[in-house]
Amino acid sequence: VSSPHQQLLLLMFLFFTTDAQAVPMQSPAEHRLVEGSSVTMTCQLSSGTVVHWYRQLPGEPPKRILYMTGNSPTFDYSNDRQKFQVQRNPSNSVLKIEKSTRRDTGTYYCAYWYYQGIWHSEPQALNSQISIVLVLRGPGHSLSWKSLHAFQSLD
């Protein structure tokens, strides 16, 4: 078992030594809806990859919601089965949040393992005040979420 510092250095090495594999892309860039409605996010990615979906709540490290191999999702927390639905198609993965509430406020990511490292999408922030707003952040924020906490369960 290596130390958290060694694991983080290995993760950074893997990320920066990968080749030009396509980075997954999420959409829509912005989506507004009334609290209680559903939210759908699509992640474009390579076929045959195992896709992971993460959620980062304000002031907390990112946590994996689920990963999907083939057509079968595996949820990290059983309570999330009621909240999230996921579909895997040849070129994308679709995450649906049922009956959105203010507690769903956060940043959502899709990611997948690639044989030389891990690729992740640009983050999508889900914000709620009176309505829930989905916002795509710019490339400058794309690496800020890479913390050891996000990857401990991906061993």
Nearest in space to 100 (alpha carbons), one of 30, 28, 40: 40
* Alpha carbons 54 and 66: distance in angstroms, whole number: 7
pLDDT in tens, 10-31: 344 334 333 334 555 655 555 5
Measured CA to CA, the distance from residue 11 to residue 44 in angstroms comes to 23
Instruction: Kindly report the CATH number assigned to the domain that includes residue 109.
Output: 2.60.40.10
User: Terminus-to-terminus CA distance in the chain, angstroms?
Assistant: 11
- Residue 1's pLDDT band, with cuts at 50, 70 and 90, is very low
* pLDDT tens digits, 83-128: 999 998 888 889 999 888 878 877 888 887 655 555 555 555 554 3
DSSP state of 123: P
Domain that holds residue 37: 4-154
**Residues sharing a CB contact under 8 Å with residue 70, sequence separation 6 or more, in sequence order:** 88
pLDDT band at 69 (very low <50, low <70, confident <90, very high): confident
What pLDDT was estimated at residue 11?
41
Q: Please state, in angstroms and rounded to a whole number, the distance separating the CA atoms of residues 148 and 4.
A: 7
Give me the number of domains the chain comprises. 1
d(CA 95, CA 98): 10
Q: What is the pLDDT of residue 48?
A: 66
Tokens of 77: 């927390």
